[in-house]
Amino acid sequence: MLENSFLEYSFLVHVNRGLGQGFLVQLSRAAVVFSKGFNENSRMEERRALMRQNSWLEILVQCKNKIQEQIAPLLETLDQPQPDLGIGAGGDPIRKIDLAAENAVVGTLTRRGVSFTLISEESGVRKYGERPQECYVTVDPIDGTTNLMRRVPFYATSIAVSEKPFLKDVYSALVADLFHGVTYTAQKARGSFRDNRRISPSDNVSLEEAVIGVDLNSYKVEKIASRLTRLIKKTRHIRHFGANALELCYVADGTTDAFVDIRGKLRTTDVAAACLIVKEAGAMLTMPDGKPLDVKLDPGQKVEFIAAANAEMHRSILGLVKSGKEKE
């Protein structure tokens, strides 16, 4: 941008007849030198960004491995009475296993000397290292804790890294299915992967054939049920598995065709990583009114969204789901 505006400026000076030729030649040369330097700088910046993204991916995988190691003994004790550890920053009771997973992430990052601001569903916002504003690490240590506690084999960990505490600024992401040992990752502008293989969403456009996840898990179901009736009537296969980060990854890799959560109850910590995975895979993700989804990353911040495998499927669902303001 800077380069363009400088060249435009130089052009404008050229057309100004009031200036001498020598000055104009010098100015154009300066513009070329400046522009070369700028290109070099921006290439270096790109290289640095790439290196930063690559090393983050390696760190995130290390965090995930540590989580698996730390929670393994606790998975053996799920039938025993669980201690009361209070309520987490996201508003749900904290389990020993949630804390063990969070400690695994924090321990891995601090041991590697990373400065960061943690945004966690359990401990809330905490700063680590000398330059905590350098990056934000948004974590849901265990997404699907109820499934895990009841031995339903569908729960995950979710870690997102961003420059600023906003969803649109997430540049590296990992969601791991902790039961099946499957890892989803994404980097901004570089695609999404499942166990290192590039993934893409389904090209199904028929609601009759589609498998669509809908989260109805809410105490205010009477408020959202009527908004979803038309979608549910048209879709033969409605599902909800109970770990929304993983359900979004299922849209990203074509396992399902869409996932809808319009409850206004889900925290950003649950889906910060999965949102990048969905978008980088090439699927659609917006708010229920079709506007882009961007919210502050904070354990108290809630999100609503419609994720769909492709534009046509997304359009069909948007047309069927009533916005919060529409009357019956």
| Residue nearer to Ca ion on the CB measure, 140 or 257 | 140
* Minimum CB distance to ligand IPD, residue 113 (Å): 29
| Residue nearer to ligand IPD on the CB measure, 145 or 185 | 145
* Minimum CB distance to ligand IPD, residue 299 (Å): 11
| Residue nearer to ligand IPD on the CB measure, 144 or 165 | 144
Q: Which amino acid is at 30?
A: A
| Residue nearer to ligand IPD on the CB measure, 244 or 256 | 244
User: Residue of minimal CB distance from Ca ion?
Assistant: 140
CA 157 to each of CA 68, 114, 164: distance values in angstroms, whole numbers, following the listed order: 10, 20, 21
| Residue nearer to ligand IPD on the CB measure, 199 or 248 | 248
Residue 265: which of ligand IPD, Ca ion, none does it interact with, CB under 5 to 8 A by kind?
A: ligand IPD
Residue 173: which of ligand IPD, Ca ion, none does it interact with, CB under 5 to 8 A by kind?
A: none
Number of residues that bind Ca ion (CB under 5 A): 3
Query: What do you get for the CA distance between the two ends of the chain, in Å?
Result: 48
* Minimum CB distance to ligand IPD, residue 142 (Å): 6
* Minimum CB distance to ligand IPD, residue 242 (Å): 4
The 181-200 site mask, x for binding Ca ion (CB under 5 A), equals: --------------------
For position 247 contacting Ca ion by CB under 5 A, the verdict is: no
Residue 243: which of ligand IPD, Ca ion, none does it interact with, CB under 5 to 8 A by kind?
A: ligand IPD
| Residue nearer to Ca ion on the CB measure, 267 or 322 | 267
* Minimum CB distance to ligand IPD, residue 266 (Å): 5
Residues of the shown chain interacting with ligand IPD in the complex, contacts defined by CB under 6 A: 92, 140, 143-146, 215, 217, 242-244, 265-266, 270
Of the residues 70, 106, 114, 140, which one makes contact with Ca ion according to CB under 5 A = 140
In the complex, which residues of this chain contact Ca ion (CB under 5 A)?
Answer: 121, 140, 142
